[in-house]
Structure 1
Amino acid sequence: MTWRPARRERGAAAVEFALVVPLLLTLVLGIISYGYLLSFRQSLSQAAAEGARAAAVAPATSDRQAIAFAAVGSTLEATCLDDADSLTCSTATPPGCRCLEVSVSWDYAADASKPKFVFGFALPETLTYTSTVQVNQVDAP
Protein backbone atom coordinates (compact mmCIF):
# COMPACT_ATOMS: atom_id res chain seq x y z
CA MET A 1 0.00 0.00 0.00
CA THR A 2 1.41 3.43 -0.94
CA TRP A 3 1.17 6.50 1.21
CA ARG A 4 -0.84 9.37 -0.18
CA PRO A 5 -1.17 12.79 1.39
CA ALA A 6 -4.55 13.77 2.64
CA ARG A 7 -6.63 15.75 0.23
CA ARG A 8 -6.26 19.00 2.19
CA GLU A 9 -2.40 18.81 2.06
CA ARG A 10 -2.06 18.50 -1.72
CA GLY A 11 -0.88 22.06 -2.46
CA ALA A 12 1.13 22.65 0.71
CA ALA A 13 4.49 21.91 -0.94
CA ALA A 14 3.78 24.31 -3.79
CA VAL A 15 2.79 27.07 -1.38
CA GLU A 16 5.91 26.50 0.74
CA PHE A 17 8.05 26.57 -2.39
CA ALA A 18 6.44 29.81 -3.54
CA LEU A 19 7.13 31.40 -0.15
CA VAL A 20 10.75 30.25 0.16
CA VAL A 21 12.07 30.81 -3.38
CA PRO A 22 11.88 34.64 -3.41
CA LEU A 23 13.74 34.80 -0.10
CA LEU A 24 16.36 32.34 -1.30
CA LEU A 25 16.86 34.18 -4.60
CA THR A 26 17.19 37.52 -2.81
CA LEU A 27 19.82 36.02 -0.52
CA VAL A 28 21.81 34.47 -3.39
CA LEU A 29 21.66 37.61 -5.55
CA GLY A 30 22.64 39.74 -2.54
CA ILE A 31 25.70 37.54 -1.97
CA ILE A 32 26.67 37.92 -5.63
CA SER A 33 26.17 41.70 -5.52
CA TYR A 34 28.25 42.16 -2.37
CA GLY A 35 30.93 39.83 -3.70
CA TYR A 36 31.26 41.96 -6.82
CA LEU A 37 31.31 45.11 -4.69
CA LEU A 38 34.12 43.77 -2.52
CA SER A 39 36.11 42.69 -5.57
CA PHE A 40 35.73 46.13 -7.14
CA ARG A 41 36.60 47.78 -3.84
CA GLN A 42 39.88 45.86 -3.80
CA SER A 43 40.60 46.98 -7.38
CA LEU A 44 39.99 50.59 -6.37
CA SER A 45 42.35 50.27 -3.42
CA GLN A 46 45.00 48.72 -5.67
CA ALA A 47 44.57 51.54 -8.20
CA ALA A 48 45.17 54.18 -5.52
CA ALA A 49 48.31 52.35 -4.39
CA GLU A 50 49.56 52.00 -7.98
CA GLY A 51 49.00 55.70 -8.65
CA ALA A 52 50.89 56.69 -5.50
CA ARG A 53 53.74 54.29 -6.27
CA ALA A 54 54.09 55.55 -9.84
CA ALA A 55 54.18 59.16 -8.66
CA ALA A 56 56.70 58.38 -5.92
CA VAL A 57 59.24 56.81 -8.28
CA ALA A 58 58.83 59.51 -10.94
CA PRO A 59 61.68 61.96 -11.47
CA ALA A 60 61.50 65.10 -9.32
CA THR A 61 61.07 67.34 -12.36
CA SER A 62 58.11 65.43 -13.81
CA ASP A 63 54.39 66.07 -13.44
CA ARG A 64 53.64 63.59 -10.66
CA GLN A 65 49.91 64.21 -10.73
CA ALA A 66 49.67 63.25 -14.41
CA ILE A 67 51.78 60.16 -13.77
CA ALA A 68 49.59 59.14 -10.82
CA PHE A 69 46.39 59.68 -12.81
CA ALA A 70 47.75 57.63 -15.73
CA ALA A 71 48.62 54.75 -13.39
CA VAL A 72 45.20 54.84 -11.75
CA GLY A 73 43.49 54.99 -15.12
CA SER A 74 45.42 52.06 -16.54
CA THR A 75 44.69 49.96 -13.45
CA LEU A 76 40.94 50.60 -13.57
CA GLU A 77 40.69 50.95 -17.37
CA ALA A 78 39.10 54.38 -16.92
CA THR A 79 40.33 57.93 -17.07
CA CYS A 80 40.63 60.29 -14.13
CA LEU A 81 40.08 63.42 -16.16
CA ASP A 82 37.03 62.35 -18.19
CA ASP A 83 33.67 63.51 -16.84
CA ALA A 84 31.91 60.57 -18.50
CA ASP A 85 33.52 58.05 -16.13
CA SER A 86 32.48 57.54 -12.53
CA LEU A 87 36.13 57.89 -11.48
CA THR A 88 37.44 60.96 -9.67
CA CYS A 89 41.13 61.32 -8.77
CA SER A 90 43.04 63.88 -6.75
CA THR A 91 46.50 64.36 -5.33
CA ALA A 92 47.68 66.30 -2.31
CA THR A 93 50.88 66.97 -0.43
CA PRO A 94 50.35 66.94 3.35
CA PRO A 95 52.03 69.89 5.12
CA GLY A 96 55.35 69.13 6.77
CA CYS A 97 55.74 65.82 4.96
CA ARG A 98 57.66 64.80 1.88
CA CYS A 99 54.68 62.68 0.97
CA LEU A 100 52.16 62.42 -1.80
CA GLU A 101 48.54 61.39 -1.31
CA VAL A 102 46.55 59.94 -4.17
CA SER A 103 42.79 59.75 -3.60
CA VAL A 104 40.53 57.72 -5.85
CA SER A 105 36.74 57.87 -5.72
CA TRP A 106 34.17 55.92 -7.73
CA ASP A 107 30.50 56.84 -7.95
CA TYR A 108 29.20 53.29 -7.50
CA ALA A 109 25.51 54.19 -7.35
CA ALA A 110 25.56 56.05 -10.69
CA ASP A 111 27.59 53.41 -12.53
CA ALA A 112 25.16 51.33 -14.57
CA SER A 113 27.81 48.70 -15.33
CA LYS A 114 27.99 47.55 -11.70
CA PRO A 115 25.39 45.04 -10.47
CA LYS A 116 22.92 46.16 -7.85
CA PHE A 117 20.91 42.98 -7.35
CA VAL A 118 19.65 44.07 -3.96
CA PHE A 119 18.21 47.22 -5.57
CA GLY A 120 20.84 49.49 -4.05
CA PHE A 121 19.81 48.57 -0.53
CA ALA A 122 22.77 48.85 1.87
CA LEU A 123 25.26 49.44 -0.96
CA PRO A 124 27.55 52.47 -0.69
CA GLU A 125 26.96 55.40 -3.00
CA THR A 126 30.68 56.07 -3.50
CA LEU A 127 33.86 54.16 -2.83
CA THR A 128 36.87 56.26 -1.85
CA TYR A 129 40.46 55.28 -1.12
CA THR A 130 43.56 57.28 -0.34
CA SER A 131 47.12 56.02 -0.58
CA THR A 132 50.05 57.97 0.86
CA VAL A 133 53.69 57.42 -0.09
CA GLN A 134 56.90 59.10 0.96
CA VAL A 135 58.64 60.86 -1.90
CA ASN A 136 62.42 60.77 -1.69
CA GLN A 137 63.88 63.36 -3.97
CA VAL A 138 67.39 62.51 -5.02
CA ASP A 139 69.38 65.47 -6.23
CA ALA A 140 71.41 65.02 -9.38
CA PRO A 141 75.20 64.94 -8.81
Structure 2
Amino acid sequence: MVVGGLRRALTRRAQDTTPTFRREDRGAAAVEFAIVVIPLLYLVFGIINYGYMLAFRQSVSQAAAEGARAAAVAPAGLPEADLRQRAAEAVDGALESYDVSCEVTSGLLMHGDEESGTCQITGPVTCSGSTTGAQCMRVELDYTYADDPLLPDVGYGIVLPDHLKFASEVQVS
Protein backbone atom coordinates (compact mmCIF):
# COMPACT_ATOMS: atom_id res chain seq x y z
CA MET A 1 0.00 0.00 0.00
CA VAL A 2 2.94 2.29 0.40
CA VAL A 3 3.42 2.38 -3.36
CA GLY A 4 -0.18 3.43 -4.00
CA GLY A 5 -0.01 6.15 -1.39
CA LEU A 6 3.24 7.44 -2.85
CA ARG A 7 1.74 7.53 -6.31
CA ARG A 8 -1.25 9.55 -5.08
CA ALA A 9 1.03 11.97 -3.26
CA LEU A 10 3.22 12.48 -6.35
CA THR A 11 0.18 12.91 -8.57
CA ARG A 12 -1.30 15.46 -6.18
CA ARG A 13 2.02 17.29 -6.01
CA ALA A 14 2.31 17.37 -9.84
CA GLN A 15 -1.21 18.76 -10.08
CA ASP A 16 -0.38 21.45 -7.55
CA THR A 17 2.63 22.71 -9.57
CA THR A 18 0.93 22.90 -12.96
CA PRO A 19 -0.25 26.43 -13.67
CA THR A 20 -3.94 26.93 -13.82
CA PHE A 21 -5.39 29.21 -16.45
CA ARG A 22 -8.69 30.88 -16.35
CA ARG A 23 -10.89 30.22 -19.31
CA GLU A 24 -10.65 33.87 -20.52
CA ASP A 25 -6.82 33.73 -20.63
CA ARG A 26 -6.73 31.04 -23.31
CA GLY A 27 -5.28 32.35 -26.58
CA ALA A 28 -3.91 35.54 -25.03
CA ALA A 29 -0.34 34.65 -26.06
CA ALA A 30 -1.43 34.18 -29.67
CA VAL A 31 -3.17 37.56 -29.70
CA GLU A 32 -0.16 39.28 -28.12
CA PHE A 33 2.12 37.61 -30.66
CA ALA A 34 -0.05 38.83 -33.53
CA ILE A 35 -0.07 42.36 -32.14
CA VAL A 36 3.74 42.42 -31.89
CA VAL A 37 4.70 40.52 -35.06
CA ILE A 38 2.84 42.74 -37.55
CA PRO A 39 4.70 45.98 -36.73
CA LEU A 40 7.93 44.04 -36.33
CA LEU A 41 7.65 42.52 -39.82
CA TYR A 42 6.71 45.91 -41.27
CA LEU A 43 9.87 47.35 -39.73
CA VAL A 44 12.05 44.49 -41.01
CA PHE A 45 10.70 44.78 -44.56
CA GLY A 46 11.15 48.56 -44.38
CA ILE A 47 14.82 48.08 -43.54
CA ILE A 48 15.19 45.66 -46.46
CA ASN A 49 13.40 48.07 -48.82
CA TYR A 50 15.55 51.02 -47.73
CA GLY A 51 18.74 48.96 -48.05
CA TYR A 52 17.78 47.90 -51.58
CA MET A 53 17.16 51.53 -52.53
CA LEU A 54 20.58 52.51 -51.13
CA ALA A 55 22.27 49.76 -53.17
CA PHE A 56 20.45 50.98 -56.30
CA ARG A 57 21.41 54.57 -55.50
CA GLN A 58 25.07 53.55 -55.38
CA SER A 59 24.69 51.69 -58.69
CA VAL A 60 23.18 54.75 -60.38
CA SER A 61 26.09 56.87 -59.14
CA GLN A 62 28.58 54.27 -60.36
CA ALA A 63 26.79 53.98 -63.72
CA ALA A 64 27.10 57.73 -64.34
CA ALA A 65 30.83 57.60 -63.56
CA GLU A 66 31.42 54.52 -65.72
CA GLY A 67 29.47 55.99 -68.63
CA ALA A 68 31.46 59.22 -68.62
CA ARG A 69 34.75 57.34 -68.27
CA ALA A 70 33.93 54.90 -71.11
CA ALA A 71 33.28 57.79 -73.48
CA ALA A 72 36.29 59.80 -72.30
CA VAL A 73 38.84 57.01 -72.85
CA ALA A 74 37.54 56.09 -76.31
CA PRO A 75 40.02 56.34 -79.17
CA ALA A 76 40.44 59.85 -80.56
CA GLY A 77 38.49 60.74 -83.65
CA LEU A 78 35.34 58.75 -82.92
CA PRO A 79 32.11 60.51 -83.88
CA GLU A 80 29.96 61.91 -81.05
CA ALA A 81 27.27 59.30 -81.70
CA ASP A 82 29.79 56.51 -81.04
CA LEU A 83 30.98 58.22 -77.84
CA ARG A 84 27.40 58.44 -76.61
CA GLN A 85 26.80 54.80 -77.51
CA ARG A 86 29.90 53.73 -75.54
CA ALA A 87 28.69 55.74 -72.54
CA ALA A 88 25.19 54.23 -72.77
CA GLU A 89 26.61 50.70 -72.96
CA ALA A 90 28.67 51.34 -69.81
CA VAL A 91 25.57 52.69 -68.01
CA ASP A 92 23.58 49.65 -69.14
CA GLY A 93 26.30 47.33 -67.87
CA ALA A 94 26.29 48.97 -64.45
CA LEU A 95 22.49 48.84 -64.11
CA GLU A 96 21.63 45.56 -65.85
CA SER A 97 21.09 43.68 -62.59
CA TYR A 98 18.20 46.09 -61.86
CA ASP A 99 16.78 45.78 -65.40
CA VAL A 100 17.44 49.49 -66.00
CA SER A 101 18.88 50.76 -69.28
CA CYS A 102 19.76 54.04 -70.98
CA GLU A 103 18.15 54.77 -74.34
CA VAL A 104 20.59 57.06 -76.16
CA THR A 105 18.24 58.22 -78.90
CA SER A 106 15.35 59.19 -76.63
CA GLY A 107 17.42 60.23 -73.60
CA LEU A 108 15.31 58.05 -71.29
CA LEU A 109 16.12 55.63 -68.49
CA MET A 110 13.98 52.54 -68.90
CA HIS A 111 13.05 50.04 -66.18
CA GLY A 112 12.04 47.06 -68.24
CA ASP A 113 9.65 48.56 -70.78
CA GLU A 114 8.62 51.54 -68.63
CA GLU A 115 10.03 55.04 -68.76
CA SER A 116 11.69 55.70 -65.41
CA GLY A 117 13.72 58.87 -65.79
CA THR A 118 16.25 60.57 -68.00
CA CYS A 119 19.68 59.65 -69.31
CA GLN A 120 21.56 62.63 -70.75
CA ILE A 121 24.92 62.00 -72.39
CA THR A 122 26.64 65.11 -73.72
CA GLY A 123 30.04 65.86 -75.05
CA PRO A 124 32.65 66.52 -75.79
CA VAL A 125 31.89 69.92 -74.27
CA THR A 126 33.97 72.40 -72.31
CA CYS A 127 34.49 71.07 -68.81
CA SER A 128 32.66 72.80 -65.96
CA GLY A 129 34.97 75.29 -64.28
CA SER A 130 37.72 74.81 -66.87
CA THR A 131 39.98 77.78 -67.49
CA THR A 132 41.97 76.01 -70.21
CA GLY A 133 39.04 74.96 -72.41
CA ALA A 134 39.49 71.23 -71.70
CA GLN A 135 36.88 68.97 -73.25
CA CYS A 136 34.75 66.61 -71.14
CA MET A 137 32.10 63.95 -71.54
CA ARG A 138 29.12 64.35 -69.19
CA VAL A 139 26.61 61.69 -68.14
CA GLU A 140 23.58 62.69 -66.08
CA LEU A 141 21.12 60.11 -64.79
CA ASP A 142 17.83 60.94 -63.08
CA TYR A 143 15.74 57.96 -61.93
CA THR A 144 12.24 58.82 -60.68
CA TYR A 145 12.14 56.40 -57.76
CA ALA A 146 8.80 57.65 -56.43
CA ASP A 147 7.04 56.76 -59.70
CA ASP A 148 8.84 53.48 -60.29
CA PRO A 149 10.24 51.90 -57.12
CA LEU A 150 12.18 48.69 -57.62
CA LEU A 151 10.31 46.85 -54.87
CA PRO A 152 6.53 46.95 -54.36
CA ASP A 153 5.41 50.02 -52.42
CA VAL A 154 3.66 49.08 -49.19
CA GLY A 155 3.75 52.48 -47.54
CA TYR A 156 7.46 53.21 -47.31
CA GLY A 157 7.31 56.08 -49.83
CA ILE A 158 7.49 58.64 -47.04
CA VAL A 159 11.11 57.82 -46.24
CA LEU A 160 12.32 56.95 -49.75
CA PRO A 161 13.58 59.64 -52.16
CA ASP A 162 11.52 60.87 -55.10
CA HIS A 163 14.53 61.06 -57.46
CA LEU A 164 17.95 59.50 -57.63
CA LYS A 165 19.99 61.99 -59.63
CA PHE A 166 23.70 61.75 -60.37
CA ALA A 167 26.04 63.36 -62.87
CA SER A 168 29.62 62.65 -63.78
CA GLU A 169 32.01 64.60 -65.93
CA VAL A 170 35.31 63.20 -67.20
CA GLN A 171 37.94 65.01 -69.23
CA VAL A 172 38.53 63.55 -72.67
CA SER A 173 42.11 62.40 -73.12
Shorter-chain TM-score: which interval?
0.7 to 0.9
Cα deviation, residue 52, structure 1: 1.0
**Partner of 2:102 in structure 1?**
79
- Which is strand-richer, 1 or 2? 2
Query: Which one has the largest radius of gyration?
Result: 2
Question: Does the 8 Å CA contact 1:73/1:80 hold for their aligned counterparts?
Answer: no
Residue 86 of structure 1 aligns to a residue whose secondary structure is strand
Consecutive unaligned residues in structure 1, runs of 5 or more: 137-141
Q: Give the alignment's Cα RMSD to 1 decimal.
A: 2.4
Q: Identity over aligned residues, as a percent?
A: 49
For 1:131, the equivalent position in structure 2 comes to: 168
Query: CA–CA distance in 1 between the matches of 2:48 and 2:87?
Result: 32
Bigger Cα displacement from structure 2, 22-31 vs 67-76: 67-76
Cα distance, 1:5 vs. partner?
Answer: 3.1
Mapped to 1, the partners of 2:149 and 2:45 lie a distance apart of 17
CA separation in 2, counterparts of 1:71 and 1:101? 13
Structure of greater relative contact order (alpha carbons < 8 Å, 6+ residues apart): 1
Aligned to 2:115, what secondary structure does the other structure show? coil
Higher helix residue share: 2
Residue in structure 2 matched with residue 139 of structure 1 by the alignment: none
CA distance in 2, matches of 1:117, 1:39: 19
Instruction: Output one character per residue of 1:41-95: Cα deviation in whole Å (capped at 9) or x when no partner.
Output: 1211121111011011013322233321232123323133455431421235425
Whether the aligned pair in 2 keeps the contact of 1:55 and 1:65 (CA below 8 Å) is yes
User: How many residue pairs are counted as aligned between the two chains?
Assistant: 136
Q: Does structure 2 conserve the Cα–Cα contact (< 8 Å) formed by 1:101 and 1:130? A: yes
Paired amino acid for 2:85: A
- Change in Cα spacing, 1:79 to 1:132, as seen in structure 2 (3 Å) is closer
Answering whether residue 76 of structure 2 is matched by residue 53 of structure 1, we say no
**Pairing partner for 2:120 from 75, 83, 90:** 90
Q: Which residue pairs with 2:52 in the alignment?
A: 36
1:66 aligns with 2:103: no
Q: Who is 1:105 aligned against?
A: 142
TM-score by length of 1: 0.78
Q: Which moved more, 1:97-106 or 1:6-15?
A: 6-15
The answer to whether the Cα contact below 8 Å between 1:79 and 1:85 also exists between their aligned partners in 2 is no
